[in-house]
Structure 1
Amino acid sequence: MLQAFRNSAKGKVGKTIVGLIVITFVFFGAESIISIAGNSAPATVNGDDISENDYQRLLNSRQQELTSQYGAEIGSQLANSPFLRQEVLNILINQKLQAQLTQDLKFEVSDDQVLKTLTEVPAFQLNGKFDQDMYLNLLSANGFNHKSFIASQRAQAALTQMQSGLVNSAFVNEKSVARYASLDAQQRKVAYRTLSAADYLASVAPSTDDLQAYYDENQDQFLSEERVKVKVVRVAMADMIADALVTDDEIDSAYQSYLAALASNEQRTVSHILFADGADNAAEAQSALARLAAGEAFADLATELSDDPGSAEFGGSLGELIPDVYVAEFYNAAMELTQEGDVSDLVTTEYGVHLIQLDSLSTAQAASLADQTAELTAVLKERKARDEMILVAADLADDAFASDDIADVALNFQTDVIETDWLTRSSDDELMAEDGFAAAVFSPTVVDDGMISSVVKTAAGDLIVVQKLDYQGEAVKPFVEVETDIRTLVADRMATELMSAALADILASTVALDDNWTDPELIDRNATGLPDNVVEKAFTLPAPVNGLSVATLEDGDLAYVIAVTEVVDTSPSETQQLAAKKFATTFAGSAQYQVLFNQVREAADISIRP
């Protein structure tokens, strides 16, 4: 069976199945599989170390998620708990076991197959095109370099290939498929009644005691936000840019850099034919060159001859030629091609023998110095201002720390003090939208100590410090201030309770449908004329006995009584049969993969660093 699903994964169907398997891995008893390791790796799995870098990368990612979800204080407590570290380590152990299983079953993906997809990833694109700087910066921000990222993507692609193969080759009971298809094709006659809490509002009259009791029991719902007024000193980037001076020599130098950048910013797309599996790769490549010279198309030969399956099906296309992505011999040979359609001589690399074709070459047209002067001047002024702002930020931080009154800071930096109105954390205010500003104005330094804040840098590059003018902490709002809101809340709750009671009465008394019900309608699972939750509930009810199968459903301030009067079995369509088979195959494949993984983990030798 393993060979069958290995072959299946390499076919076209296997390539289309990505992420079908969602496995909930079993957490085994630590005493049965884990011993204490003495090396420096966080854990060792069957003699293969889990790297400290991988552990720290995943741990930091999970810590940031928790902080973002629960706030700094609670997030920090959760992020530093031993439970999180255990969770991260268990994830990495499972990943390592899956990688080892993939290798044992001899599934593999080439670097070229991974590289082919890089230029198509939106996160690596700028203005719709692959941008190398963005690619490398994103990798660096996430703890990768090019080599480690390609390796991780290659391993993930091989794992997906293995899982897809298992799904495609799973044994499926045809009776189960027929049952799934029959259920999908089933139709039901459904009628329902709708109740709304709004219809019962006229019947409720909350007393003052009701309102007071709700207020006393739910005071956390009526807290006013803490708020603060602050004095603000801002050093504006726009002022720094306006004051920056640029010389003619600097403009000339910038123009030369502009010309050099254009020359080096050409974009090339290439294709290749790889000869790697033959008895004499060079001879086969030479024969292909002769066929090209005779007029055959490069793409046709790549599809026929190339030993790189990732590009062969695309006529050998590799997309854009990216520095530092391809091995030096390949990259240098591709860079020597000067005309679109040119084909290289034989190029030998560690992967085999290549023929490379230049598919396209584009370069930008340089503007004249006169046309570029205004833009270059603006760029130089902004660059100088940003460099100056680095020094100003340090001076501003020192001055703010040393001063008791923000007015002295404003005087030293020749700017004004601006006083804000009341600010809360949810204020719709330009400053509150700036990253770090809310944290500064509500910091203990500002609120409790009355000192000047640390420096906040805005999205526009401005530098800001603040000092408290006035502050009011979080407090329960007076009853009279929230009485109207409470009356609405209590009335809604009472009306909903009456609706629920009426719903129960209808359920208990329904023996036949009357004019309060909709007319019974024959529907399938995809019916659109009824509320979605009514359709979903109707198909969970048992077949009717004595003409009716009845249930209730509450959804906020609405409720339904649902009746099924008839179940109609219809013949499944071809589409439904195919969908049922896909579902059954995926389900069986997931189960088989779970069993296989459980066996692998039970047999694994896992050691964890103390």
Structure 2
Amino acid sequence: MLQAMSEKMKGWPAIIVLGVATFAMSFFGIEGYFSSRVDTYVAKVGKHEISQQQFRDRMNQIRQQAMAQEGDQFDGTAFEKPANKRRILDAMVDQQLLLKANGDLGMRVSTQALRDAIANVPAFQVNGKFDPETYRSVLAANRMTPEMFEEQQSSSMAVALLPDAINDSAIVTDADMDRYLDLQLQRRDVQYFTLPRPAPANSTVTDDEIASYYKGHQADFMRPEQVSLKYIEVNDADLKLDAQPSEDELKKRYQDEKSRFVQPEQRLVSHILINVPKNATPAQQKAALAKADKIAAEATPADFAELAKKDSDDLGSKSQGGNLGWLQKGVTNAAFDTAMFSLKKGEISKPVLSPEGYHIIYLRDVQSGKIKPFDQVRAELAQEAIKADREHKFNEVAGKLADASYQTPGSLDTAAKNLDLPVKTTGLFSHSGGTGIAANAKVIAAAFSDDVLAQGNNSSLINLGTDDAVVVRVDKHEPKAVRPLAEVSDSIKQKILDDRVIAAAKQRADGLLARLRKGEDIQAVAKSAGANVVSVSDAMRMPRAPSAQSMPAQVRSQAFLLPHPAKDKPEFSSVAVGDGVFAIVGVDKVQGGDLAKITPAQREQLRNQMAQAFGNMATHGFIDILKAKTPVKIAEDRM
């Protein structure tokens, strides 16, 4: 088990993380008793069905995450592969099994745990503390209510309840860590040589061979289900306003919102700080106050700056004679604030205690609060008025589009004519998306929904952003089908040739390997194949300086899969390194890891990682038990 862990623990992201999906529960009304039922689920766990829409939503969510992470490197075709679809569906099944087990065991997410989790989200905090107004505004910006978010968060947390409990029970002993470290830090003396890619034994591929391969591998040549869309888009930036705001409108706006443009009273302040240490003794506090009293009694406006340079403990303002600049109410702490606004111009305060120590405050000047004149804020008011008009226009047009497309669900022409908006089109795209609006997960979900695709209706209004919305309908639909032979003939021919090359390369490698296992010298065998032997001493599974132990990853992996060699008798194997190229790998010597180099901090980090790995394995074992006790049906044809 530890050997397997040493291979798998190289990349923790490879461990399947449970608890990442949110389940939308489907309830069926009484009308179900009076109508014939057609199964539409992609999976059924016990009595719970995972619908096609839930599966598509999950696919879209993962696709969007991958697009954000991979950027230009994103390959949407990977999401159409049956193996990947099944992997995502299996994760949803596992999550449903865990939720069912929660109910059977009486486990639930407590209200307090939910509150704590939400309060700890940085996006909902102001100055490190949860702020209800920020919480509501962030959710509103994402078109969610607190109730919706809390239900979503609770579902996500519920999936993690059992895995977390299992992980917390995992125990890792010192002996477990020593065995793992001995494997992970093991050193091996490796020799290898790489064989050149051979030519295929026969470079002729007949039409019959191509046709036979095509017939036997049709799943490899499936064209995914595709649609193209017609759509009408309402975009804030494209809307023309009826008129620009007039001068009278701007002046009225100014009068209505005058309070926004009040400049608060400001005070020009200098200070002298006498520091009081944290956890100061009474004697230290008394000494600091005495010093502050003496300075305050001696200070005058004329010599205040010199006294600040000489006696102040505030390094930030000391060199400027204690100058703090213009301050307004609420900028400083409450005690300083109160003292500052109780002074008259030219007065010096008595010592004021704050968390930093004692302040002597000198009020040098006062600027009364005043309202910014209209001319000074006119441009700001105009921008705000135009923005408000645009928002109103957008909402108005988007609302009319939604109404018109609903009233004539079989066409976009009426809506386009009434609103004077063009009907645009997309190219064909699959469930993995396309370009333009077809890259948006909401559009993809709508395009392949039953209402739009099967029933032929217009979609509801889809918000692409706060100022962009579309209504779509299917223009063309191409069901999933095998690509015609003529379209894939060239790629099949190349695949057959590549398979022949690989077969020839493996046959040659096997022959050389047999000679080595009979005792021939590796240098002589490599020379006979026109290759050079590369030797690496003390090779490690994960070298700290990869450049010092450079070798193909496949060679390194194979070297650490070979058994320990007997004395003076190396172990050999062959391994494919890609594109019809094979390498012959030999191991001459194996040494255990030097555990003395592992620091206590590293051991503790490893203990946590191993506990997580043991917990994950135990969780999957528990899920296997649940699967054995729960009927699970998978409808792969609906994926």
Q: TM-score, normalising length from structure 2?
A: 0.52
Partners of 2:186 and 2:593 within 8 A in 1: yes
1:522 alignment partner, one of 528, 537, 546: 537
Does residue 396 of the first structure (1) align with residue 417 of the second (2)? no
Match of 1:172 among 154, 161, 174: 174
Matched residue of 1:206: which SS? Answer: coil
Q: What is the Cα deviation at residue 586 of structure 1?
A: 6.9
Partner of 1:90: 101
* 1:479-498 paired onto structure 2 within 5 Å: 479-498=485-504
Is the Cα–Cα contact under 8 Å of residues 555 and 583 in structure 2 kept in the other structure? yes
Note the C-alpha offset of 1:548. Answer: 0.8
SS, match of residue 458 in structure 1: strand
Distance 2:177 2:445 in 1: 57
TM-score (norm 1): 0.54
1-side partners of 2:569 and 2:213: how far apart? 45
Give the distance between the partners of 2:564 and 2:216, measured in 1 at CA: 45
Does the 8 Å CA contact 1:548/1:564 hold for their aligned counterparts? yes
Q: How far, CA to CA, are the matches of 2:470 and 2:169 in structure 1?
A: 58
Q: 1:470 to 1:399 in 2, by over 3 A?
A: same
Q: 1:253 to 1:195 in 2, by over 3 A?
A: farther
Equivalent position of 2:344 in the other structure? none
Q: Give the letter for the 2:174 counterpart.
A: V
2:61–2:441 CA contact under 8 A, matched in 1: no
| Cα shift readout 1:389-446 (whole Å, capped 9, x = no counterpart) | 434333322322333553332221123344x364323675323234533444555655
Alignment-mate amino acid for residue 381 of structure 1: I
Equivalent residue runs for 1:26-105 within 5 Å: 65=58, 68=61, 84-90=95-101
Aligned to 2:207: 208
Aligned to 2:597: 574
Does the 8 A contact of 1:232 with 1:467 survive in 2? yes
Q: Does structure 2 retain, via aligned residues, the 8 Å contact 1:342–1:358?
A: no
Task: From 558, 564, 569, give the equivalent of 2:587.
Answer: 564
Query: Partners of 1:552 and 1:413 in 2: how far apart?
Result: 69
Pairwise CA distance, 1:209: 1.5
C-alpha distance after superposition, 1:269-298 (max 9, x if no partner): xxxxxxxxxxxxxxxx999788556549xx
Q: Distance in 2 between matches of 1:478 and 1:221?
A: 12
List per-residue Cα deviations over 1:336-369 (Å, max 9, x = no partner): 9763495899xxxxxxxxx99489xxxxx99875
Distance verdict in 2 for CA 1:86–1:560, change over 3 Å: same
Structure 1: 5+ residue stretches without partners: 1-18, 26-55, 100-108, 264-284, 297-335, 346-354, 360-364, 599-610
Partners in 2 of 1:553 and 1:231 — Cα distance?
A: 52
SS at match of 1:395: helix
What amino acid is aligned across from residue 551 of structure 1 in structure 2? S
Cα distance, 1:244 vs. partner? Answer: 6.2
Q: Counterparts of 1:82 and 1:593 in 2: how far apart (Å)?
A: 16
Q: Is the 8 A contact 1:341 1:357 kept in 2?
A: no
Q: Which runs of 5+ in 2 are unaligned?
A: 1-11, 19-47, 63-78, 265-277, 290-328, 339-352, 358-369, 622-639
TM superposition shift of 1:213: 1.1
The 3 A distance-change label for structure 1 pair 587 and 64 is: same
On the 8 A contact 1:228/1:471 being kept in 2, the answer is yes
Give the structure 2 partner of residue 414 of structure 1.
420
Q: Distance in 2 between matches of 1:97 and 1:130?
A: 24
CA-based RMSD of the aligned residues comes to 6.0
1:552 aligns with 2:539: no
| Structure-2 change in CA distance of 1:594 and 1:432 (3 Å) | closer
Letter in 2 for 1:88: L
The answer to whether the Cα contact below 8 Å between 1:185 and 1:524 also exists between their aligned partners in 2 is no
| Residue of structure 2 equivalent to 1:190 | 190
Q: Is the 2:250–2:382 Cα contact (8 Å) retained in structure 1?
A: no
Amino acid at match of 2:99: V
| Preserved CA contact (<8 Å) 2:55 2:89 | no
CA separation of 1:180 and 1:373: change in aligned 2, threshold 3 A: same
- Distance, in Å, in 2 between the alignment partners of 1:521 and 1:221 is 40
How far is 1:224 from its partner?
4.0
* Counterpart-to-counterpart distance in 1, 2:181 and 2:602: 8
Find the counterpart in structure 2 of residue 603 from structure 1. Answer: none
What residue number does 2:515 align with? Answer: 509
Which deviations, in whole Å up to 9, do the C-alpha atoms of 1:78-134 show, x marking residues without a partner? 6999975441243588895999xxxxxxxxx9x9x999x95xx66557999998755
CA distance in 2 between counterparts of 1:590 and 1:402 reads 56
Residue of structure 2 in register with 1:536 after alignment = 557
CA–CA separation in structure 2 for the residues paired with 1:551 and 1:569: 21
Question: In structure 2, what is the equivalent of residue 329 of structure 1?
Answer: none
Partner of 2:254: 252
After superposition, the Cα gap between the structure-2 partners of 1:171 and 1:234, relative to the gap in structure 1 and judged at 3 Å, is closer
Change (3 A) 1:584 1:456: closer
SS of alignment partner, residue 213 of structure 1: helix
CA deviations 1:489-527 (Å, max 9, x no partner) are 222223223333333333333133123352332123144
Does the CA contact (< 8 Å) of 1:136 and 1:145 recur in 2? no
- Aligned-pair distance for 1:221? 3.1
The structure-2 alpha-carbon separation of the partners of 1:434 and 1:576, relative to structure 1 and needing over 3 Å to count, comes to: closer
Distance 1:439 1:178, change over 3 A: closer
Alignment partners' CA distance in 1, 2:474 and 2:613: 59
Q: Is the 8 A contact 1:340 1:358 kept in 2?
A: no
Secondary structure of 2:174's aligned partner: coil
SS at match of 2:470: strand
SS in 2 for 1:431: helix
Q: Is the CA contact (8 Å cut-off) linking 2:452 and 2:473 kept in structure 1?
A: yes
- Structure of greater Rg: 2
Counterparts of 1:29-428 in structure 2, within 5 Å, are 65=58, 68=61, 84-90=95-101, 118=120, 123-124=123-124, 133-135=133-135, 172=174, 186-195=186-195, 198-201=197-200, 203-225=202-224, 230-240=229-239, 242-243=241-242, 246=245, 247-249=249-251, 251-252=253-254, 256=258, 258-259=260-261, 294-295=287-288, 339-340=332-333, 342=335, 357=355, 370-403=375-408, 405-418=411-424, 420=425, 422-425=427-430, 428=434
Structure 1 SS opposite 2:429: coil
SS in 1 for 2:460: coil
Identical-residue share of aligned pairs (%)? 20
Shift of 1:190: 0.5
Residues 188 and 522 in structure 1, CA contact (< 8 A), matched pair in contact too: yes
Q: Does structure 1 retain, via aligned residues, the 8 Å contact 2:570–2:586?
A: yes
The question of whether the paired residues in 2 share the 8 Å contact of 1:432 and 1:438 is answered with: yes
Pair 500,293 (structure 1): closer, same or farther in 2 beyond 3 Å: farther
1:309 alignment partner in structure 2:
none
Given residue 193 of structure 1, which amino acid in structure 2 is its aligned partner? F
**1:34-67, Cα deviation, whole Å (9 max, x unpaired):** xxxxxxxxxxxxxxxxxxxxxx9xx999996477
What is the CA–CA distance in structure 2 between the aligned matches of 1:585 and 1:475, rounded to whole Å? 49
Structure 1 residue corresponding to 2:435, chosen from 404, 429, 436: 429
Counterpart of 1:499?
505
Question: How many residues are paired up?
Answer: 442
Contact 1:62–1:79 (8 Å) recurs in 2: no
Q: Could you tell me which amino acid in structure 2 is paired with residue 251 of structure 1?
A: R
